[in-house]
Amino acid sequence: MSVGGWVMMTLFWALTLGLNLFCLYKLLTVRPSDVD
Partner 1 sequence: MRIRDTWTGRVGIIMAVAGSAVGLGNFLRFPVQAVENGGGAFMIPYLVALLFLAIPLCWVEWAMGRAAGSAGHGSGPGIFNFFAPSRAARWFGALGILIPLLIYLYYIYIESWCLAFAFFALSGDLSKAVEADQVAGFLTSYQGVGSTDWFSNMSVAFIFFLITFAMNFFVVYLGVRRGIELVTKIATPILIALGIFIAYHVITLGAPDPAKPDWSSLRGFGFLWNPDLSALLNAKVWLAAAGQVFFTASVGLGLIITYASYLKKNDDIALSSLSAISINEFLEVIIGASIAIPAAYIFFGPSGAADIAASGGFNLGFVTMPIIFWKMPLSAFLAFFWFFLLFLAGVTSSISMLQPAIAFFEDELGWSRKKSVSVLFAFTFLASQPAIWFLAKGVLDTLDFWAGTFLVVIFAFGEALLFGWFFGAEDGFKEIQRSAAIKVPMIFKYIIKYVTPLYLGVILLVWLYQNGGSLIPSTSSPNFRYEVATLVGMALVFIILIALVEIADRRGAFSARAQKGGSR
5 is an interface residue for partner 1 by CB under 8 A: yes
33 is an interface residue for partner 1 by CB under 8 A: no
Instruction: Report d(CA 21, CA 23) in Å as an integer.
Output: 5
Instruction: Report d(CA 15, CA 33) in Å as an integer.
Output: 29
Instruction: Find the shortest distance in angstroms from Cβ 29 to partner 1.
Output: 9
27 is an interface residue for partner 1 by CB under 8 A: yes
Residues forming contacts to partner 1 in the complex (CB under 8 A) are: 1-2, 4-9, 11-13, 15-17, 19-20, 22-24, 26-27, 30, 32, 34-36
